[in-house]
Structure 1
Protein backbone atom coordinates (compact mmCIF):
# COMPACT_ATOMS: atom_id res chain seq x y z
CA UNK A 1 0.00 0.00 0.00
CA UNK A 2 0.93 3.64 -0.33
CA UNK A 3 1.04 6.01 2.70
CA UNK A 4 -1.41 8.86 2.86
CA UNK A 5 -0.11 12.28 1.85
CA UNK A 6 2.15 14.12 4.30
CA UNK A 7 4.59 17.02 4.49
CA UNK A 8 8.26 15.99 4.71
CA UNK A 9 10.88 17.94 6.69
CA UNK A 10 14.58 17.01 6.90
CA UNK A 11 16.33 19.27 9.44
CA UNK A 12 20.11 19.23 9.84
CA UNK A 13 20.25 20.15 13.54
CA UNK A 14 18.39 19.23 16.69
CA UNK A 15 17.26 22.84 17.09
CA UNK A 16 15.71 22.79 13.60
CA UNK A 17 14.03 19.48 14.32
CA UNK A 18 12.46 20.75 17.54
CA UNK A 19 11.28 23.89 15.76
CA UNK A 20 9.73 21.84 12.96
CA UNK A 21 8.04 19.57 15.50
CA UNK A 22 6.59 22.55 17.33
CA UNK A 23 5.32 24.06 14.08
CA UNK A 24 3.74 20.80 12.92
CA UNK A 25 1.84 20.16 16.14
CA UNK A 26 0.75 16.87 17.67
CA UNK A 27 -0.22 15.37 14.31
CA UNK A 28 3.44 14.97 13.32
CA UNK A 29 5.72 11.94 13.44
CA UNK A 30 9.48 11.81 13.93
CA UNK A 31 11.27 9.21 11.80
CA UNK A 32 14.69 7.78 12.68
CA UNK A 33 15.76 4.70 10.71
CA UNK A 34 12.19 4.11 9.57
CA UNK A 35 12.25 0.34 10.07
CA UNK A 36 9.19 0.43 12.33
CA UNK A 37 7.39 3.54 11.11
CA UNK A 38 7.44 2.87 7.37
CA UNK A 39 5.37 -0.34 7.54
CA UNK A 40 2.87 1.47 9.77
CA UNK A 41 2.58 4.29 7.23
CA UNK A 42 2.22 1.92 4.29
CA UNK A 43 -0.63 0.11 6.03
CA UNK A 44 -2.16 3.48 6.93
CA UNK A 45 -2.31 2.52 10.59
CA UNK A 46 -1.11 6.06 11.18
CA UNK A 47 -1.55 9.04 8.88
CA UNK A 48 0.51 11.97 10.19
CA UNK A 49 0.31 15.37 8.56
CA UNK A 50 4.09 15.85 8.78
CA UNK A 51 7.11 13.53 8.88
CA UNK A 52 10.26 14.97 10.46
CA UNK A 53 13.31 12.98 9.34
CA UNK A 54 16.24 12.99 11.81
CA UNK A 55 18.58 11.23 9.40
CA UNK A 56 20.66 14.32 8.57
CA UNK A 57 21.37 15.36 12.18
CA UNK A 58 24.95 14.23 12.79
CA UNK A 59 24.97 15.44 16.41
CA UNK A 60 22.59 12.59 17.25
CA UNK A 61 25.00 9.89 16.07
CA UNK A 62 27.96 8.12 17.63
CA UNK A 63 29.25 6.61 20.86
CA UNK A 64 31.44 8.52 23.28
CA UNK A 65 33.17 7.81 26.57
CA UNK A 66 31.89 10.02 29.38
CA UNK A 67 33.89 8.87 32.38
CA UNK A 68 31.84 6.29 34.25
CA UNK A 69 29.37 5.89 31.39
CA UNK A 70 28.99 5.64 27.64
CA UNK A 71 26.73 8.03 25.78
CA UNK A 72 25.12 6.68 22.62
CA UNK A 73 23.44 9.08 20.23
CA UNK A 74 19.82 8.18 19.53
CA UNK A 75 20.44 8.05 15.76
CA UNK A 76 23.34 5.59 16.03
CA UNK A 77 22.49 2.54 13.93
CA UNK A 78 22.26 -0.94 15.39
CA UNK A 79 25.26 -1.96 13.30
CA UNK A 80 27.39 0.88 14.66
CA UNK A 81 26.36 0.08 18.23
CA UNK A 82 27.05 -3.62 17.76
CA UNK A 83 30.53 -3.08 16.29
CA UNK A 84 31.67 -0.18 18.48
CA UNK A 85 34.78 -1.02 20.53
CA UNK A 86 33.61 1.01 23.56
CA UNK A 87 30.27 -0.81 23.63
CA UNK A 88 32.02 -4.16 23.33
CA UNK A 89 34.30 -3.31 26.25
CA UNK A 90 31.93 -1.54 28.64
CA UNK A 91 28.39 -2.69 27.67
CA UNK A 92 28.76 -6.24 26.41
CA UNK A 93 25.07 -6.97 26.95
CA UNK A 94 24.09 -4.22 24.52
CA UNK A 95 26.45 -5.52 21.85
CA UNK A 96 25.16 -9.10 22.28
CA UNK A 97 21.49 -8.14 22.14
CA UNK A 98 21.90 -5.77 19.20
CA UNK A 99 23.49 -8.56 17.18
CA UNK A 100 20.19 -10.47 17.43
CA UNK A 101 18.00 -7.64 16.11
CA UNK A 102 16.24 -8.68 12.89
CA UNK A 103 18.65 -8.99 9.95
CA UNK A 104 21.75 -7.15 8.63
CA UNK A 105 19.72 -4.83 6.41
CA UNK A 106 17.60 -3.62 9.32
CA UNK A 107 20.63 -3.35 11.62
CA UNK A 108 22.27 -1.04 9.09
CA UNK A 109 19.20 1.24 8.89
CA UNK A 110 17.47 0.92 12.24
CA UNK A 111 18.65 3.05 15.17
CA UNK A 112 19.11 2.48 18.89
CA UNK A 113 17.01 5.49 19.84
CA UNK A 114 14.33 4.74 17.28
CA UNK A 115 13.89 1.24 18.66
CA UNK A 116 13.59 2.50 22.23
CA UNK A 117 11.16 5.29 21.31
CA UNK A 118 8.98 2.83 19.37
CA UNK A 119 8.59 0.89 22.64
CA UNK A 120 7.44 -2.40 21.15
CA UNK A 121 7.18 -4.90 24.05
CA UNK A 122 8.73 -7.52 21.74
CA UNK A 123 11.62 -5.23 20.80
CA UNK A 124 14.96 -6.53 22.03
CA UNK A 125 16.66 -3.38 23.29
CA UNK A 126 14.16 -2.13 25.87
CA UNK A 127 15.02 -4.93 28.30
CA UNK A 128 18.72 -4.23 27.76
CA UNK A 129 18.20 -0.55 28.54
CA UNK A 130 16.38 -1.47 31.76
CA UNK A 131 18.97 -4.06 32.83
CA UNK A 132 21.85 -1.64 32.29
CA UNK A 133 20.15 1.18 34.24
CA UNK A 134 20.34 3.53 31.28
CA UNK A 135 19.21 7.14 31.32
CA UNK A 136 17.46 8.75 28.35
CA UNK A 137 18.09 12.39 27.52
CA UNK A 138 15.15 14.02 25.77
CA UNK A 139 14.94 17.53 24.37
CA UNK A 140 11.92 19.76 23.95
CA UNK A 141 10.91 23.43 23.81
CA UNK A 142 11.69 23.81 27.51
CA UNK A 143 15.16 22.31 27.31
CA UNK A 144 16.46 18.88 28.18
CA UNK A 145 15.48 16.38 30.84
CA UNK A 146 16.63 12.92 31.86
CA UNK A 147 14.52 9.81 32.34
CA UNK A 148 15.56 6.45 33.77
CA UNK A 149 14.76 3.51 31.51
CA UNK A 150 12.08 2.14 33.81
CA UNK A 151 10.21 5.46 33.81
CA UNK A 152 10.79 6.01 30.08
CA UNK A 153 8.65 3.01 29.10
CA UNK A 154 5.06 3.56 30.24
CA UNK A 155 2.86 1.18 28.19
CA UNK A 156 2.71 -0.81 24.99
CA UNK A 157 4.17 1.36 22.17
CA UNK A 158 4.14 4.28 24.64
CA UNK A 159 6.92 6.23 26.36
CA UNK A 160 7.20 9.26 28.62
CA UNK A 161 8.22 11.39 25.62
CA UNK A 162 5.92 14.38 25.18
CA UNK A 163 4.59 15.05 21.65
CA UNK A 164 7.02 17.97 21.25
CA UNK A 165 10.11 16.11 22.53
CA UNK A 166 12.85 14.13 20.80
CA UNK A 167 15.09 11.43 22.27
CA UNK A 168 18.63 12.75 22.03
CA UNK A 169 20.93 10.16 23.58
CA UNK A 170 21.16 7.21 25.94
CA UNK A 171 23.61 7.18 28.86
CA UNK A 172 24.81 3.70 29.82
CA UNK A 173 26.74 3.17 33.08
CA UNK A 174 29.88 1.17 32.35
CA UNK A 175 29.70 -2.54 33.14
CA UNK A 176 33.35 -3.18 32.39
CA UNK A 177 34.34 -6.79 32.92
CA UNK A 178 30.76 -7.98 33.38
CA UNK A 179 29.80 -11.09 31.45
CA UNK A 180 26.58 -11.01 29.49
CA UNK A 181 24.17 -12.93 27.32
CA UNK A 182 20.89 -12.21 25.54
CA UNK A 183 18.70 -15.30 25.18
CA UNK A 184 15.64 -15.05 22.96
CA UNK A 185 12.97 -17.45 21.79
CA UNK A 186 11.21 -16.99 18.46
CA UNK A 187 9.53 -19.34 16.07
CA UNK A 188 11.08 -17.94 12.92
CA UNK A 189 14.65 -16.75 12.50
CA UNK A 190 15.04 -12.95 12.69
CA UNK A 191 11.46 -12.45 13.92
CA UNK A 192 10.24 -10.68 17.07
CA UNK A 193 10.97 -12.32 20.43
CA UNK A 194 8.17 -14.37 21.91
CA UNK A 195 10.11 -13.95 25.17
CA UNK A 196 13.73 -12.96 25.71
CA UNK A 197 16.06 -12.40 28.65
CA UNK A 198 18.86 -9.86 29.00
CA UNK A 199 21.35 -10.93 31.66
CA UNK A 200 24.68 -9.51 32.76
CA UNK A 201 26.72 -10.59 35.79
CA UNK A 202 29.86 -9.53 37.60
CA UNK A 203 31.64 -12.70 38.71
CA UNK A 204 34.71 -12.60 40.95
CA UNK A 205 36.47 -15.76 42.06
CA UNK A 206 33.44 -17.90 41.32
CA UNK A 207 31.07 -15.62 43.28
CA UNK A 208 28.38 -13.49 41.64
CA UNK A 209 29.03 -10.00 43.03
CA UNK A 210 26.37 -8.23 40.96
CA UNK A 211 23.66 -9.22 38.51
CA UNK A 212 21.17 -7.43 36.28
CA UNK A 213 18.36 -9.27 34.51
CA UNK A 214 15.42 -7.95 32.48
CA UNK A 215 12.73 -9.58 30.36
CA UNK A 216 11.43 -8.86 26.87
CA UNK A 217 7.75 -9.34 25.98
CA UNK A 218 6.62 -10.32 29.46
CA UNK A 219 4.30 -7.33 29.79
CA UNK A 220 3.47 -4.00 28.24
CA UNK A 221 6.93 -2.70 29.17
CA UNK A 222 10.33 -4.34 29.80
CA UNK A 223 10.39 -6.08 33.19
CA UNK A 224 13.32 -5.99 35.62
CA UNK A 225 13.68 -9.42 37.23
CA UNK A 226 14.79 -8.22 40.64
CA UNK A 227 13.87 -11.49 42.32
CA UNK A 228 16.40 -13.27 40.11
CA UNK A 229 19.06 -10.66 40.83
CA UNK A 230 18.57 -10.90 44.59
CA UNK A 231 18.78 -14.69 44.47
CA UNK A 232 22.07 -14.53 42.54
CA UNK A 233 24.07 -11.80 44.25
CA UNK A 234 26.54 -13.11 46.80
CA UNK A 235 26.08 -16.70 45.68
CA UNK A 236 28.42 -19.09 43.90
CA UNK A 237 28.16 -19.23 40.12
CA UNK A 238 26.69 -22.69 40.36
CA UNK A 239 24.07 -24.37 38.19
CA UNK A 240 21.81 -25.19 41.16
CA UNK A 241 21.94 -21.60 42.40
CA UNK A 242 21.12 -20.30 38.94
CA UNK A 243 18.27 -22.76 38.47
CA UNK A 244 16.70 -21.71 41.77
CA UNK A 245 17.16 -18.03 40.96
CA UNK A 246 15.53 -18.45 37.55
CA UNK A 247 12.34 -19.65 39.21
CA UNK A 248 11.82 -16.01 40.29
CA UNK A 249 11.97 -14.72 36.70
CA UNK A 250 8.27 -14.01 36.17
CA UNK A 251 7.67 -12.31 39.53
CA UNK A 252 6.06 -8.93 38.94
CA UNK A 253 5.55 -9.63 35.23
CA UNK A 254 2.18 -9.44 33.50
CA UNK A 255 2.62 -11.62 30.41
CA UNK A 256 -0.04 -11.31 27.75
CA UNK A 257 -1.79 -14.03 25.81
CA UNK A 258 -1.91 -13.74 22.03
CA UNK A 259 -1.75 -15.88 18.91
CA UNK A 260 1.93 -16.68 19.56
CA UNK A 261 1.67 -17.87 23.16
CA UNK A 262 -0.53 -17.66 26.21
CA UNK A 263 0.54 -16.12 29.51
CA UNK A 264 1.27 -19.47 31.15
CA UNK A 265 3.63 -20.51 28.37
CA UNK A 266 5.41 -17.16 28.47
CA UNK A 267 5.90 -17.57 32.22
CA UNK A 268 7.48 -20.97 31.58
CA UNK A 269 9.70 -19.52 28.85
CA UNK A 270 10.86 -16.69 31.11
CA UNK A 271 12.19 -19.16 33.67
CA UNK A 272 13.86 -21.43 31.13
CA UNK A 273 15.44 -18.58 29.17
CA UNK A 274 16.62 -16.84 32.35
CA UNK A 275 18.42 -19.99 33.40
CA UNK A 276 20.03 -20.30 29.98
CA UNK A 277 21.03 -16.64 29.85
CA UNK A 278 22.65 -16.62 33.28
CA UNK A 279 24.37 -19.97 32.74
CA UNK A 280 25.85 -18.70 29.49
CA UNK A 281 26.84 -15.36 31.01
CA UNK A 282 28.57 -16.93 34.00
CA UNK A 283 30.22 -19.64 31.92
CA UNK A 284 29.03 -22.41 34.23
Structure 2
Protein backbone atom coordinates (compact mmCIF):
# COMPACT_ATOMS: atom_id res chain seq x y z
CA UNK A 1 0.00 0.00 0.00
CA UNK A 2 1.08 3.57 -0.60
CA UNK A 3 0.49 6.61 1.60
CA UNK A 4 -1.43 9.66 0.41
CA UNK A 5 0.52 12.62 -0.90
CA UNK A 6 1.99 14.87 1.80
CA UNK A 7 4.76 17.40 2.27
CA UNK A 8 7.76 16.16 4.28
CA UNK A 9 9.79 18.45 6.53
CA UNK A 10 12.69 17.64 8.86
CA UNK A 11 13.40 20.65 11.10
CA UNK A 12 16.47 20.72 13.32
CA UNK A 13 15.13 22.63 16.34
CA UNK A 14 12.08 22.44 18.58
CA UNK A 15 11.22 26.06 17.79
CA UNK A 16 10.99 25.22 14.09
CA UNK A 17 8.61 22.39 14.89
CA UNK A 18 6.45 24.65 17.03
CA UNK A 19 6.24 27.23 14.25
CA UNK A 20 5.02 24.51 11.88
CA UNK A 21 2.48 23.23 14.41
CA UNK A 22 1.19 26.75 14.94
CA UNK A 23 0.06 26.87 11.29
CA UNK A 24 -3.65 26.11 11.68
CA UNK A 25 -4.23 26.05 7.91
CA UNK A 26 -2.78 22.57 7.43
CA UNK A 27 -3.01 19.19 9.16
CA UNK A 28 0.42 18.32 10.58
CA UNK A 29 1.50 14.86 11.74
CA UNK A 30 4.62 14.34 13.86
CA UNK A 31 6.95 11.53 12.78
CA UNK A 32 8.97 10.14 15.70
CA UNK A 33 9.61 6.38 15.53
CA UNK A 34 7.00 5.92 12.83
CA UNK A 35 5.88 2.52 14.06
CA UNK A 36 2.28 3.71 14.34
CA UNK A 37 2.15 6.64 11.92
CA UNK A 38 3.65 4.90 8.88
CA UNK A 39 1.14 2.00 8.90
CA UNK A 40 -1.69 4.51 9.34
CA UNK A 41 -0.38 6.45 6.35
CA UNK A 42 -0.04 3.33 4.22
CA UNK A 43 -3.58 2.26 5.11
CA UNK A 44 -4.70 5.84 4.39
CA UNK A 45 -6.28 6.05 7.81
CA UNK A 46 -4.12 9.16 8.35
CA UNK A 47 -4.08 11.87 5.66
CA UNK A 48 -1.97 14.77 6.95
CA UNK A 49 -1.02 17.68 4.73
CA UNK A 50 2.46 17.76 6.24
CA UNK A 51 4.62 15.17 8.01
CA UNK A 52 7.18 16.74 10.33
CA UNK A 53 10.10 14.43 11.09
CA UNK A 54 11.64 15.28 14.49
CA UNK A 55 14.36 12.62 14.45
CA UNK A 56 17.16 15.09 13.73
CA UNK A 57 16.41 17.36 16.67
CA UNK A 58 19.12 17.02 19.30
CA UNK A 59 18.39 16.73 23.02
CA UNK A 60 14.89 15.22 22.95
CA UNK A 61 16.11 11.76 23.96
CA UNK A 62 17.83 12.54 27.26
CA UNK A 63 17.13 10.73 30.55
CA UNK A 64 17.61 12.67 33.80
CA UNK A 65 17.36 10.96 37.19
CA UNK A 66 16.84 12.98 40.38
CA UNK A 67 15.96 11.99 43.94
CA UNK A 68 12.28 12.64 43.25
CA UNK A 69 11.68 11.83 39.59
CA UNK A 70 12.91 10.48 36.27
CA UNK A 71 12.55 12.82 33.29
CA UNK A 72 12.62 11.05 29.93
CA UNK A 73 12.81 12.92 26.63
CA UNK A 74 10.01 12.11 24.21
CA UNK A 75 12.41 10.86 21.52
CA UNK A 76 14.09 8.27 23.76
CA UNK A 77 13.93 4.89 21.99
CA UNK A 78 12.30 2.07 23.89
CA UNK A 79 15.25 -0.26 23.26
CA UNK A 80 17.59 2.26 24.90
CA UNK A 81 15.30 2.75 27.90
CA UNK A 82 14.84 -1.01 28.29
CA UNK A 83 18.57 -1.42 28.92
CA UNK A 84 19.34 1.87 30.68
CA UNK A 85 21.16 0.87 33.86
CA UNK A 86 20.04 3.88 35.90
CA UNK A 87 16.42 3.41 34.89
CA UNK A 88 16.54 -0.30 35.69
CA UNK A 89 17.84 0.56 39.15
CA UNK A 90 15.56 3.44 40.15
CA UNK A 91 12.34 2.75 38.20
CA UNK A 92 12.48 -0.89 37.04
CA UNK A 93 8.78 -1.16 36.16
CA UNK A 94 9.34 1.09 33.12
CA UNK A 95 11.97 -1.17 31.49
CA UNK A 96 9.89 -4.18 32.54
CA UNK A 97 6.81 -2.89 30.72
CA UNK A 98 8.90 -1.81 27.73
CA UNK A 99 10.21 -5.37 27.39
CA UNK A 100 6.63 -6.47 26.70
CA UNK A 101 6.08 -3.94 23.90
CA UNK A 102 6.11 -5.59 20.47
CA UNK A 103 9.52 -7.02 19.47
CA UNK A 104 13.17 -5.81 19.65
CA UNK A 105 13.16 -4.57 16.05
CA UNK A 106 10.10 -2.44 16.79
CA UNK A 107 11.50 -1.16 20.09
CA UNK A 108 14.65 -0.05 18.27
CA UNK A 109 12.59 2.60 16.49
CA UNK A 110 9.65 3.24 18.80
CA UNK A 111 9.92 6.31 21.04
CA UNK A 112 8.34 6.73 24.43
CA UNK A 113 6.67 9.96 23.31
CA UNK A 114 5.24 8.34 20.21
CA UNK A 115 3.83 5.43 22.21
CA UNK A 116 2.20 7.74 24.74
CA UNK A 117 0.76 10.12 22.14
CA UNK A 118 -0.63 7.23 20.07
CA UNK A 119 -2.73 6.40 23.16
CA UNK A 120 -3.72 2.85 22.29
CA UNK A 121 -6.02 1.80 25.18
CA UNK A 122 -4.31 -1.60 25.37
CA UNK A 123 -0.74 -0.29 25.37
CA UNK A 124 1.56 -0.89 28.32
CA UNK A 125 3.28 2.49 28.75
CA UNK A 126 0.14 4.63 29.14
CA UNK A 127 -0.96 2.33 31.98
CA UNK A 128 2.44 2.68 33.65
CA UNK A 129 2.25 6.46 33.29
CA UNK A 130 -1.17 6.56 34.93
CA UNK A 131 -0.17 4.19 37.75
CA UNK A 132 2.92 6.21 38.59
CA UNK A 133 1.17 9.57 38.21
CA UNK A 134 3.44 10.76 35.41
CA UNK A 135 3.43 14.32 34.12
CA UNK A 136 3.50 15.14 30.41
CA UNK A 137 5.62 18.12 29.39
CA UNK A 138 4.14 19.91 26.36
CA UNK A 139 5.41 22.91 24.41
CA UNK A 140 3.83 25.23 21.89
CA UNK A 141 4.77 28.59 20.43
CA UNK A 142 2.62 30.10 23.21
CA UNK A 143 4.62 28.50 26.03
CA UNK A 144 4.89 25.33 28.09
CA UNK A 145 2.20 23.24 29.73
CA UNK A 146 2.18 20.27 32.08
CA UNK A 147 -0.59 17.66 32.08
CA UNK A 148 -1.09 14.69 34.38
CA UNK A 149 -1.17 11.29 32.68
CA UNK A 150 -4.66 10.66 34.09
CA UNK A 151 -5.94 13.72 32.20
CA UNK A 152 -3.70 13.32 29.15
CA UNK A 153 -5.32 10.08 27.96
CA UNK A 154 -8.90 10.82 26.98
CA UNK A 155 -10.24 7.99 24.82
CA UNK A 156 -9.16 5.60 22.04
CA UNK A 157 -6.13 7.09 20.22
CA UNK A 158 -6.98 10.50 21.67
CA UNK A 159 -5.06 12.66 24.13
CA UNK A 160 -5.34 16.20 25.44
CA UNK A 161 -2.36 17.32 23.34
CA UNK A 162 -3.44 20.27 21.24
CA UNK A 163 -2.59 20.40 17.51
CA UNK A 164 -0.08 23.18 18.14
CA UNK A 165 1.73 21.29 20.93
CA UNK A 166 4.72 18.95 20.98
CA UNK A 167 5.27 16.43 23.76
CA UNK A 168 8.89 17.03 24.75
CA UNK A 169 9.25 14.80 27.83
CA UNK A 170 7.46 12.64 30.36
CA UNK A 171 8.27 12.86 34.07
CA UNK A 172 7.81 9.77 36.24
CA UNK A 173 7.82 10.45 39.99
CA UNK A 174 9.76 8.10 42.24
CA UNK A 175 7.49 6.85 45.01
CA UNK A 176 9.53 6.22 48.15
CA UNK A 177 8.90 2.84 49.72
CA UNK A 178 6.92 1.52 46.74
CA UNK A 179 7.63 -1.51 44.61
CA UNK A 180 5.94 -1.77 41.23
CA UNK A 181 5.39 -4.57 38.73
CA UNK A 182 3.64 -5.03 35.40
CA UNK A 183 1.60 -8.05 34.35
CA UNK A 184 -0.34 -8.80 31.18
CA UNK A 185 -1.98 -11.52 29.11
CA UNK A 186 -1.69 -11.45 25.30
CA UNK A 187 -2.23 -13.96 22.53
CA UNK A 188 1.48 -14.01 21.69
CA UNK A 189 4.49 -12.30 23.20
CA UNK A 190 4.74 -8.87 21.62
CA UNK A 191 1.02 -8.56 20.87
CA UNK A 192 -1.08 -5.91 22.54
CA UNK A 193 -2.42 -7.41 25.77
CA UNK A 194 -6.04 -8.36 26.27
CA UNK A 195 -5.58 -6.95 29.78
CA UNK A 196 -2.55 -5.49 31.49
CA UNK A 197 -1.92 -3.88 34.85
CA UNK A 198 0.69 -1.89 36.70
CA UNK A 199 0.56 -2.43 40.46
CA UNK A 200 2.54 -0.64 43.11
CA UNK A 201 2.43 -1.41 46.82
CA UNK A 202 4.02 0.22 49.83
CA UNK A 203 4.28 -2.37 52.57
CA UNK A 204 5.30 -1.83 56.22
CA UNK A 205 5.64 -4.69 58.70
CA UNK A 206 3.96 -7.04 56.24
CA UNK A 207 0.88 -4.83 55.82
CA UNK A 208 -0.05 -2.76 52.74
CA UNK A 209 -0.19 0.91 53.71
CA UNK A 210 -0.65 2.37 50.21
CA UNK A 211 -1.40 1.04 46.72
CA UNK A 212 -1.39 2.35 43.16
CA UNK A 213 -3.11 0.35 40.40
CA UNK A 214 -3.79 1.14 36.74
CA UNK A 215 -5.07 -1.20 34.06
CA UNK A 216 -5.16 -1.25 30.26
CA UNK A 217 -7.36 -3.17 27.84
CA UNK A 218 -10.54 -2.78 29.90
CA UNK A 219 -11.69 0.69 28.82
CA UNK A 220 -11.20 3.37 26.16
CA UNK A 221 -8.12 4.59 28.02
CA UNK A 222 -5.88 3.39 30.83
CA UNK A 223 -7.72 3.72 34.13
CA UNK A 224 -6.70 3.81 37.75
CA UNK A 225 -8.75 1.64 40.10
CA UNK A 226 -9.23 3.67 43.27
CA UNK A 227 -11.59 1.16 44.86
CA UNK A 228 -9.13 -1.70 44.53
CA UNK A 229 -6.35 0.55 45.87
CA UNK A 230 -8.44 1.29 48.96
CA UNK A 231 -9.20 -2.42 49.42
CA UNK A 232 -5.47 -3.14 49.55
CA UNK A 233 -4.82 -0.74 52.44
CA UNK A 234 -4.50 -2.55 55.76
CA UNK A 235 -4.23 -5.94 54.09
CA UNK A 236 -1.44 -8.24 55.33
CA UNK A 237 0.61 -10.11 52.75
CA UNK A 238 -0.05 -12.88 51.99
CA UNK A 239 -3.79 -12.60 52.50
CA UNK A 240 -7.19 -13.37 51.00
CA UNK A 241 -7.44 -11.10 47.95
CA UNK A 242 -11.20 -11.42 47.52
CA UNK A 243 -11.96 -7.82 48.60
CA UNK A 244 -9.41 -6.44 46.14
CA UNK A 245 -10.52 -8.70 43.30
CA UNK A 246 -14.18 -7.86 43.84
CA UNK A 247 -13.43 -4.14 44.00
CA UNK A 248 -11.38 -4.24 40.80
CA UNK A 249 -14.05 -6.26 38.97
CA UNK A 250 -16.77 -3.81 39.96
CA UNK A 251 -14.78 -0.80 38.72
CA UNK A 252 -14.36 -1.89 35.11
CA UNK A 253 -16.68 -2.46 32.16
CA UNK A 254 -14.39 -4.19 29.64
CA UNK A 255 -15.37 -4.24 25.97
CA UNK A 256 -16.50 -7.36 24.16
CA UNK A 257 -14.81 -7.87 20.80
CA UNK A 258 -13.36 -10.59 18.57
CA UNK A 259 -10.60 -11.23 21.11
CA UNK A 260 -12.89 -12.00 24.03
CA UNK A 261 -15.95 -11.10 26.03
CA UNK A 262 -16.28 -8.55 28.79
CA UNK A 263 -16.52 -11.32 31.40
CA UNK A 264 -13.34 -12.92 30.00
CA UNK A 265 -11.38 -9.68 30.41
CA UNK A 266 -12.78 -9.20 33.90
CA UNK A 267 -11.60 -12.71 34.80
CA UNK A 268 -8.17 -11.95 33.34
CA UNK A 269 -7.93 -8.86 35.55
CA UNK A 270 -8.55 -10.98 38.64
CA UNK A 271 -5.91 -13.49 37.51
CA UNK A 272 -3.35 -10.77 36.84
CA UNK A 273 -3.93 -9.21 40.25
CA UNK A 274 -3.22 -12.58 41.88
CA UNK A 275 -0.03 -12.93 39.84
CA UNK A 276 1.13 -9.42 40.67
CA UNK A 277 0.56 -9.79 44.42
CA UNK A 278 2.34 -13.16 44.40
CA UNK A 279 5.39 -11.36 43.00
CA UNK A 280 5.46 -9.01 45.98
CA UNK A 281 5.75 -12.04 48.24
CA UNK A 282 8.77 -13.02 46.12
CA UNK A 283 10.39 -9.59 46.07
CA UNK A 284 8.92 -8.54 42.69
CA UNK A 285 11.49 -10.48 40.71
CA UNK A 286 10.88 -12.01 37.30
Q: Would you call these one fold, judging by a TM-score over 0.5?
A: yes
Which SS does the other structure have where 2:8 is aligned?
strand
**Structure 1 residue 176 displacement after superposition:** 5.0
Residues 136 and 154 (structure 1), Cα distance of their counterparts in 2 relative to 1, 3 Å cut: same
Please say if residues 24 and 50 of structure 1, whose CA atoms lie closer than 8 Å, have aligned partners that are also in contact.
Answer: no
> Does residue 195 of structure 2 align to residue 220 of structure 1?
no
Residues 115 and 281 (structure 1), Cα distance of their counterparts in 2 relative to 1, 3 Å cut: farther
TM-score, length of structure 1 as denominator length: 0.94
> Does residue 237 of structure 2 align to residue 234 of structure 1?
no
**Structure 1 residue 229 displacement after superposition:** 1.3
Indicate the RMSD between aligned Cα atoms, in angstroms: 1.7
TM-score, length of structure 2 as denominator length: 0.93
Residues 281 and 62 (structure 1), Cα distance of their counterparts in 2 relative to 1, 3 Å cut: farther
**Structure 1 residue 243 displacement after superposition:** 4.4
Which SS does the other structure have where 2:144 is aligned?
strand
Please say if residues 203 and 282 of structure 1, whose CA atoms lie closer than 8 Å, have aligned partners that are also in contact.
Answer: no
Question: How many correspondences in the alignment?
Answer: 283
Please say if residues 36 and 118 of structure 1, whose CA atoms lie closer than 8 Å, have aligned partners that are also in contact.
Answer: yes
Residues 26 and 219 (structure 1), Cα distance of their counterparts in 2 relative to 1, 3 Å cut: farther
**Structure 1 residue 177 displacement after superposition:** 5.2
Distance 1:277 1:31 in 2: 35
**Structure 1 residue 11 displacement after superposition:** 1.3
Which SS does the other structure have where 2:251 is aligned?
coil
> Does residue 111 of structure 2 align to residue 98 of structure 1?
no
Post-superposition Cα deviations, 1:6-35, rounded to whole Å, max 9, x if no partner, equal 111111211111112223745110111111
Which SS does the other structure have where 2:253 is aligned?
coil
- Hey, what does 1:6 align to over in structure 2? 6
Distance 1:254 1:163 in 2: 31
- Hey, what does 1:18 align to over in structure 2? 18
Please say if residues 91 and 175 of structure 1, whose CA atoms lie closer than 8 Å, have aligned partners that are also in contact.
Answer: no
Which SS does the other structure have where 1:109 is aligned?
coil
- Hey, what does 2:162 align to over in structure 1? 162
Query: What residue ranges of structure 2 are gaps of 5+ in the alignment?
Result: none
Query: 5 Å matches for 1:1-284?
Result: 1-23=1-23, 25-175=25-175, 178-240=178-240, 242-283=241-282
Distance 1:166 1:250 in 2: 36
Which SS does the other structure have where 1:255 is aligned?
coil
Distance 2:95 2:28 in 1: 32
Post-superposition Cα deviations, 1:43-93, rounded to whole Å, max 9, x if no partner, equal 111111110111112221121024411111111111122222332222222
Distance 1:26 1:87 in 2: 39
Post-superposition Cα deviations, 1:219-268, rounded to whole Å, max 9, x if no partner, equal 0010101122111123212141x343122223332311111112121111
Which SS does the other structure have where 1:146 is aligned?
strand
Distance 2:135 2:176 in 1: 18
**Structure 1 residue 180 displacement after superposition:** 2.3
Post-superposition Cα deviations, 1:186-231, rounded to whole Å, max 9, x if no partner, equal 1122111111111122223322232211101110010101122111
